[in-house]
Structures are given as C-alpha cells and as structure tokens.
C-alpha cells in the first residue's frame, strides 16, 4: 500500500469510515497478530488481543498525529496490550501454581501443540519474537528485520539461534517421555 493511499484511509477512518478502517485491518492484521503471538506465545490469546487492539485502534485513530505512522502506532499498541496481558496471565499462573511443564504423550496433535507452545514460551523474548515473526511472515527474514527495525544479519543470527534452541527443547522433552 502506498503512503498516500494509507494516509487517505487513516483520515477517512478518523472521520468514522468503517470501510476504510477495514482495509487498514486487512493490511495490518498480520503485523499486529504476529507481534501479539511473539509476546504471549498462545495463538488464541494472540487472536483475542489482536482483535481488541484493532478495535481500540479504530476508537483512538483520531489521536494519531501523523497518518503515515499508523503501522508503528498500531504495532506499539499491540505490544503494550500483549505485555499487559502476559503480566496478568503470569500473575494468575503464579497464583494457581500452574507453571508445571505439560504432560506429553505421543501421537496426539493437541499435545504436540501444547508441547510446542511450551517450548516457544521457554525461549527468551529476544529470540522468540523474531522466530515467530519469521514463520508468520512466510519465512522472510527481511520483513522481520523491517518490522523490528533491526539489521538483516542480526535477525538471521537470532532466528537461527532460536530454531536451534527450540529443536533442542523439543527433543529433550521428547526424550523424557
């Protein structure tokens, strides 16, 4: 999407044009959802947060001073909301003493998913975020580097490291069972 088109859509959205904002949602949903997923490591939670973020974006779009900055602005809201959610969930988990590793069993896809989710959650944030975004952006390192404002070399190094650690975590977990 070119800048002038985006500017038009942001201005129209600020005037209450929902069709214009729907187009912005189509354009930025991936970035918002990816950002949330990278932080909360849970697809369903990420989906809920992304939805809240985009609806909140419509309510607050009038406060955006520069229409060209819609992308970074909405991603920042996503980041803040996901972090707030994560903080709340951690407290809840600590309260309920449910930080145990998942019980794993072979063959069940739901268990595989939980297993992977647990392993991704174990990765440090600086590795988890680029890794999740890498798969989310159709395995394009350049898109991740642009979204995170980092160099391609740095992102390449982080994603490689994250993948190696993820493999190791999953292998170790598999060996235990």
Partner 1 sequence: MTHPCQDYENKILDMSLEMLEISEQISVLEHIDQCAACRAYWEGLQAVEEQVGRWTGAECMTDKIDKVIEKLNATDLHQEPGVQNRQIGWTMGWKRIAAIFLIAVGVMLQAVYFVHIRPGLRKTIGSDIQGVLNNTAEPVPTNKVEYAKRLGLEKQQVEQARTGGRIGQLELLLDTGLPETKVLAANILAEIGDAGVLDTLEKHSAKWPKDGTENPFQKAIEAIRERQNESTTEESLPHNP
Nearer to partner 1, 5 or 60 (CB): 60
Q: 104-123 mask for partner 1 (x: CB under 8 A)? A: --------xx--xx--x---
Phi, psi of 106, deg, nearest 5: -75, 150
What is the C-alpha separation between 63 and 96, in angstroms, rounded?
Answer: 39
CB atoms within 10 A of CB 61: 23
Q: How far is the CB of 93 from partner 1 (least distance, A)?
A: 20
Does the protein bind partner 1 through residue 9 (CB under 8 A)? no
| DSSP code per residue over 116-131 | HHHHHHHS-HHHHHHH
Which candidate, 18, 19, 52, places its Cα nearest to that of 33?
A: 52
The tokens for 62 are 């009038």
- Closer to partner 1 by Cβ: residue 18 or 91: 18
Give the interface with partner 1 as residue ranges (CB under 8 A). Answer: 10-11, 14-16, 18, 21-22, 25-26, 29-30, 33-34, 37, 43, 47, 50-51, 54-55, 58-65, 67, 112-113, 116-117, 120, 131-132, 134-136, 138-139, 141, 156, 159-160, 163-164, 166-167, 170-171, 175
């Amino acid at each position: 999407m070119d800048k002038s088109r985006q500017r038009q859509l942001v201005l129209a959205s600020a005037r209450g044009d929902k069709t214009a904002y729907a187009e912005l949602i189509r354009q930025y949903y991936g970035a918002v959802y990816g950002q949330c997923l990278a932080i909360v490591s849970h697809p369903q939670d990420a989906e809920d947060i992304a939805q809240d973020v985009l609806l909140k974006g419509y309510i607050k779009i009038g406060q955006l001073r520069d229409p060209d900055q819609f992308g970074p602005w909405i991603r920042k809201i996503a980041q803040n909301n996901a972090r707030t959610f994560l903080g709340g969930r951690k407290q809840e988990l600590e309260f309920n003493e449910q930080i145990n590793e998942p019980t794993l069993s072979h063959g069940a896809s739901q268990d595989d998913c939980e297993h992977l989710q647990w392993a991704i959650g174990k990765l440090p944030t600086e590795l988890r975020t680029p890794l999740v975004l890498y798969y989310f952006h159709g395995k394009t390192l350049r898109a991740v580097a642009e979204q995170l404002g980092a160099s391609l070399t740095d992102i390449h190094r982080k994603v490689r490291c994250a993948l190696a650690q993820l493999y190791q975590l999953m292998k170790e977990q598999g060996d235990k069972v």
